[in-house]
Amino acid sequence: MKFNSIITLVAALACLVTGAFGQIQAGRAIQISVSGVPGEEKGRIDAIYPVSESGMINMPFIGQVRASGLRAEQLAAILEQRFRAAEIYTSPTFQVIDSSAKSIEEKVVTIGGQVRKTGPVPFNRNLTLYQAIQNAGGPTEFGSMHRVKLYRNGKQTEYDLTEGEAMNILLESGDTIEVPQKNAFGR
Choose between 102 and 178: higher pLDDT. Answer: 178
Residue pair 179/113 in contact by the 8 Å Cβ criterion = yes
- Looking at mean pLDDT, say which of 50-54, 100-104, 114-118 comes out highest: 114-118
User: What's at 71, amino acid-wise?
Assistant: R
Strand order in the sheet with 148-152: 119-122, 108-113, 176-179, 148-152, 155-159
End-to-end C-alpha distance for the chain, whole angstroms: 77
Question: In the chain, what are the domains?
Answer: 28-103 (3.30.1950.10), 108-179 (3.10.560.10)
55-102, pLDDT tens digit by residue? 999 898 898 999 999 999 999 999 999 999 999 889 899 999 876 544
The stretch 153-168 carries a mean pLDDT of 90
Q: Is the pLDDT of residue 46 over 80?
A: yes
- Give the pLDDT mean for 138-150: 94
Above pLDDT 70, what percent of the chain? Answer: 84
* Residue 38 or 21, more confident: 38
Instruction: State yes or no: pLDDT of 107 exceeds 90.
Output: no
Q: Which residues are within 8 A (CB) of 11 and not within 5 positions of it... i.e. 6 or more apart?
A: none
Is 50 exceeded by the pLDDT of residue 3? no
pLDDT at 119 over 90: no
- Taking the C-alpha atoms of residue 173 and residue 79, their distance in angstroms, rounded to an integer, is 21
What type of residue sits at position 3? F
| 2 — pLDDT class (breaks 50, 70, 90) | low
- DSSP H or E run through 160: none
Pair 159, 150: CB distance under 8 Å: yes
Under the banding of pLDDT at 50, 70 and 90, the label for residue 106 is low
Q: Which residues contact 170 (CB under 8 A, 6 or more apart)?
A: 126, 127, 128, 129
Predicted confidence (pLDDT) at residue 7 exceeds the cutoff of 70: no
**Residue 67 CA, distance from chain mean position:** 11
pLDDT of 121 reads 87
